[in-house]
Amino acid sequence: MPHIFSAHPGIRERHLQRQYKNPLFSLQQQDFDEQSLSGARYMDEQEQTDFRADFQQLVEEVASLKPNEGSEKMLELKSRLDHSYEQCCSLAGDNDIEKQAITQLVGIIMSAIWKSASGDAEAEANLKEEELARTTHYQLLQIPLLVDLLRPKSPILENDLVPSLLTESEEALKAAFYLFDKKQQGELCLKAVDLLDKKLQEEHDIPEAWKRLELMQSLFQDAH
Protein backbone atom coordinates (compact mmCIF):
# COMPACT_ATOMS: atom_id res chain seq x y z
CA MET A 1 0.00 0.00 0.00
CA PRO A 2 2.51 2.62 -1.12
CA HIS A 3 -0.06 5.39 -1.50
CA ILE A 4 -1.72 5.25 1.90
CA PHE A 5 0.46 8.07 3.25
CA SER A 6 0.38 11.73 2.28
CA ALA A 7 2.98 13.18 -0.06
CA HIS A 8 3.81 15.81 2.59
CA PRO A 9 2.87 14.21 5.92
CA GLY A 10 2.77 16.00 9.24
CA ILE A 11 4.97 15.01 12.15
CA ARG A 12 2.63 12.30 13.50
CA GLU A 13 1.76 10.70 10.17
CA ARG A 14 5.44 10.78 9.23
CA HIS A 15 6.34 8.61 12.20
CA LEU A 16 3.66 6.08 11.27
CA GLN A 17 5.14 6.04 7.78
CA ARG A 18 8.59 5.48 9.26
CA GLN A 19 7.35 2.39 11.09
CA TYR A 20 5.23 0.87 8.32
CA LYS A 21 6.59 -2.53 7.23
CA ASN A 22 9.90 -1.61 8.87
CA PRO A 23 11.42 -4.72 10.55
CA LEU A 24 13.37 -2.51 12.96
CA PHE A 25 10.11 -1.73 14.75
CA SER A 26 7.75 -4.08 16.58
CA LEU A 27 5.24 -6.16 14.61
CA GLN A 28 2.40 -4.03 15.93
CA GLN A 29 4.09 -0.83 14.77
CA GLN A 30 4.81 -2.31 11.34
CA ASP A 31 1.15 -3.08 10.66
CA PHE A 32 -1.13 -0.59 8.93
CA ASP A 33 -3.74 0.77 11.34
CA GLU A 34 -6.34 2.95 9.65
CA GLN A 35 -7.59 4.33 12.95
CA SER A 36 -4.10 5.40 14.01
CA LEU A 37 -3.49 7.01 10.63
CA SER A 38 -6.79 8.90 10.75
CA GLY A 39 -6.02 10.12 14.26
CA ALA A 40 -2.52 11.24 13.29
CA ARG A 41 -3.81 13.13 10.26
CA TYR A 42 -6.52 14.81 12.29
CA MET A 43 -4.03 16.05 14.87
CA ASP A 44 -1.59 17.16 12.16
CA GLU A 45 -4.34 19.08 10.36
CA GLN A 46 -5.53 20.68 13.60
CA GLU A 47 -1.99 21.82 14.35
CA GLN A 48 -1.75 23.31 10.87
CA THR A 49 -4.99 25.25 11.39
CA ASP A 50 -3.82 26.56 14.76
CA PHE A 51 -0.45 27.53 13.30
CA ARG A 52 -1.97 29.58 10.49
CA ALA A 53 -4.14 31.54 12.94
CA ASP A 54 -1.20 32.23 15.27
CA PHE A 55 1.09 33.09 12.37
CA GLN A 56 -1.37 35.59 10.94
CA GLN A 57 -1.44 37.37 14.29
CA LEU A 58 2.35 37.37 14.43
CA VAL A 59 2.58 38.87 10.93
CA GLU A 60 0.22 41.65 12.00
CA GLU A 61 2.38 42.39 15.05
CA VAL A 62 5.51 42.64 12.92
CA ALA A 63 3.70 44.88 10.43
CA SER A 64 2.68 47.22 13.24
CA LEU A 65 6.25 47.78 14.46
CA LYS A 66 7.13 51.44 14.74
CA PRO A 67 10.32 52.84 13.15
CA ASN A 68 11.69 53.61 16.61
CA GLU A 69 10.53 50.36 18.21
CA GLY A 70 12.70 49.19 21.09
CA SER A 71 15.14 46.35 20.55
CA GLU A 72 13.52 44.26 23.29
CA LYS A 73 10.23 44.08 21.37
CA MET A 74 12.00 43.32 18.09
CA LEU A 75 14.03 40.51 19.65
CA GLU A 76 10.89 39.05 21.20
CA LEU A 77 9.17 38.99 17.81
CA LYS A 78 12.24 37.52 16.13
CA SER A 79 12.32 34.73 18.71
CA ARG A 80 8.68 33.95 18.00
CA LEU A 81 9.37 33.94 14.26
CA ASP A 82 12.24 31.49 14.76
CA HIS A 83 9.90 29.25 16.74
CA SER A 84 7.27 29.57 14.00
CA TYR A 85 9.80 28.49 11.38
CA GLU A 86 10.66 25.40 13.39
CA GLN A 87 6.99 24.57 13.85
CA CYS A 88 6.25 25.24 10.18
CA CYS A 89 8.81 22.63 9.16
CA SER A 90 6.87 19.97 11.05
CA LEU A 91 3.48 20.72 9.51
CA ALA A 92 1.67 18.68 6.89
CA GLY A 93 1.52 19.93 3.32
CA ASP A 94 3.75 22.28 1.36
CA ASN A 95 4.59 25.24 3.58
CA ASP A 96 7.33 26.86 1.50
CA ILE A 97 5.39 30.13 1.20
CA GLU A 98 5.08 30.44 4.98
CA LYS A 99 8.76 29.61 5.48
CA GLN A 100 9.78 32.22 2.92
CA ALA A 101 7.55 34.78 4.63
CA ILE A 102 9.11 34.03 8.01
CA THR A 103 12.61 34.37 6.56
CA GLN A 104 11.69 37.74 5.05
CA LEU A 105 10.14 39.00 8.29
CA VAL A 106 13.21 37.95 10.28
CA GLY A 107 15.32 39.79 7.71
CA ILE A 108 13.30 42.97 8.21
CA ILE A 109 13.70 42.80 11.97
CA MET A 110 17.40 42.01 11.73
CA SER A 111 17.94 44.99 9.43
CA ALA A 112 16.47 47.25 12.10
CA ILE A 113 18.60 45.63 14.80
CA TRP A 114 21.73 45.97 12.66
CA LYS A 115 20.95 49.65 12.19
CA SER A 116 20.66 50.22 15.93
CA ALA A 117 23.95 48.36 16.51
CA SER A 118 25.87 50.35 13.90
CA GLY A 119 29.28 51.39 15.19
CA ASP A 120 29.26 48.95 18.12
CA ALA A 121 31.90 46.37 17.17
CA GLU A 122 30.94 43.90 19.89
CA ALA A 123 27.24 44.09 19.07
CA GLU A 124 27.93 43.65 15.36
CA ALA A 125 30.11 40.61 16.04
CA ASN A 126 27.35 39.07 18.15
CA LEU A 127 24.83 39.72 15.40
CA LYS A 128 27.04 38.05 12.79
CA GLU A 129 27.39 35.01 15.03
CA GLU A 130 23.64 34.90 15.66
CA GLU A 131 22.81 35.15 11.96
CA LEU A 132 25.22 32.33 11.11
CA ALA A 133 23.71 30.14 13.82
CA ARG A 134 20.19 30.87 12.59
CA THR A 135 21.08 30.11 8.96
CA THR A 136 22.59 26.78 10.01
CA HIS A 137 19.60 25.96 12.18
CA TYR A 138 17.13 26.75 9.39
CA GLN A 139 19.10 24.49 7.02
CA LEU A 140 19.04 21.62 9.51
CA LEU A 141 15.29 22.02 9.89
CA GLN A 142 14.89 20.84 6.30
CA ILE A 143 15.71 17.36 7.62
CA PRO A 144 12.43 15.81 8.84
CA LEU A 145 14.07 13.57 11.45
CA LEU A 146 15.68 16.58 13.14
CA VAL A 147 12.37 18.42 13.21
CA ASP A 148 10.69 15.38 14.75
CA LEU A 149 13.36 15.00 17.44
CA LEU A 150 13.45 18.70 18.33
CA ARG A 151 9.74 18.90 19.01
CA PRO A 152 8.92 19.28 22.75
CA LYS A 153 6.40 16.45 22.38
CA SER A 154 8.16 14.36 19.78
CA PRO A 155 6.27 11.39 18.31
CA ILE A 156 9.57 9.50 18.44
CA LEU A 157 9.48 7.95 21.90
CA GLU A 158 12.56 6.55 23.63
CA ASN A 159 11.97 3.00 22.38
CA ASP A 160 11.57 4.28 18.82
CA LEU A 161 14.75 6.34 18.78
CA VAL A 162 17.27 3.69 17.71
CA PRO A 163 15.03 2.13 15.03
CA SER A 164 14.36 5.62 13.69
CA LEU A 165 18.04 6.52 13.51
CA LEU A 166 18.91 3.25 11.77
CA THR A 167 16.17 3.87 9.20
CA GLU A 168 17.28 7.32 8.09
CA SER A 169 19.63 8.52 5.37
CA GLU A 170 23.29 9.13 6.17
CA GLU A 171 22.74 12.90 6.04
CA ALA A 172 19.84 12.77 8.49
CA LEU A 173 21.67 10.39 10.82
CA LYS A 174 24.78 12.58 10.92
CA ALA A 175 22.75 15.66 11.77
CA ALA A 176 20.61 13.91 14.38
CA PHE A 177 23.47 12.08 16.11
CA TYR A 178 25.07 15.34 17.22
CA LEU A 179 21.93 16.28 19.13
CA PHE A 180 23.10 13.86 21.80
CA ASP A 181 25.95 14.14 24.29
CA LYS A 182 28.87 11.70 24.60
CA LYS A 183 27.14 9.38 27.06
CA GLN A 184 23.93 9.29 25.04
CA GLN A 185 25.81 8.59 21.81
CA GLY A 186 27.56 5.63 23.38
CA GLU A 187 24.27 4.27 24.71
CA LEU A 188 22.64 4.65 21.29
CA CYS A 189 25.45 2.67 19.66
CA LEU A 190 25.10 -0.16 22.19
CA LYS A 191 21.32 -0.26 21.79
CA ALA A 192 21.70 -0.32 18.01
CA VAL A 193 24.04 -3.34 18.24
CA ASP A 194 21.57 -5.14 20.51
CA LEU A 195 18.65 -4.39 18.19
CA LEU A 196 20.40 -5.55 15.03
CA ASP A 197 21.71 -8.70 16.74
CA LYS A 198 18.14 -9.45 17.81
CA LYS A 199 16.89 -8.91 14.27
CA LEU A 200 19.54 -11.29 12.95
CA GLN A 201 18.30 -13.95 15.35
CA GLU A 202 14.82 -13.33 13.95
CA GLU A 203 16.31 -13.86 10.47
CA HIS A 204 15.99 -10.21 9.49
CA ASP A 205 19.16 -9.18 7.69
CA ILE A 206 19.00 -5.41 7.15
CA PRO A 207 22.24 -4.34 5.38
CA GLU A 208 21.40 -0.63 5.28
CA ALA A 209 20.76 -0.58 9.02
CA TRP A 210 24.16 -2.20 9.66
CA LYS A 211 25.75 0.55 7.55
CA ARG A 212 24.00 3.15 9.70
CA LEU A 213 25.35 1.44 12.81
CA GLU A 214 28.87 1.66 11.40
CA LEU A 215 28.30 5.35 10.76
CA MET A 216 27.05 5.91 14.31
CA GLN A 217 30.11 4.16 15.74
CA SER A 218 32.40 6.18 13.48
CA LEU A 219 30.77 9.47 14.48
CA PHE A 220 31.04 8.51 18.15
CA GLN A 221 34.74 7.66 17.85
CA ASP A 222 35.56 10.77 15.80
CA ALA A 223 33.87 13.05 18.31
CA HIS A 224 35.66 11.52 21.29
- The pLDDT, as a whole number, for residue 59 is 95
- The pLDDT, as a whole number, for residue 2 is 54
Please determine, for residue 1, whether its predicted confidence score (pLDDT) is greater than 70.
no
Taking residues 122-140, what's their average pLDDT? 94
Chain mean pLDDT for the chain? 94
pTM above 0.85, yes or no: yes
Task: Please check whether residue 106 is in contact with residue 100, taking contact to mean a CB–CB distance below 8 angstroms.
Answer: no
State the angle between helix axes of 71-88 and 96-116 in degrees (0 to 180), rounded to the nearest 10: 160
Please determine, for residue 29, whether its predicted confidence score (pLDDT) is greater than 60.
yes
- The pLDDT, as a whole number, for residue 70 is 84
- The pLDDT, as a whole number, for residue 127 is 92
- Report which of residues 152 and 53 the model is more confident about: 53
The residue length of the chain stands at 224
Tens of pLDDT along 147-159? 999 998 999 999 9
* Cα distance between residue 97 and residue 64, in whole Å: 21
* Cα distance between residue 43 and residue 92, in whole Å: 10
Please determine, for residue 38, whether its predicted confidence score (pLDDT) is greater than 50.
yes
Q: What percent of the chain has pLDDT over 70?
A: 98
Taking residues 13-30, what's their average pLDDT? 96
- The pLDDT, as a whole number, for residue 19 is 96
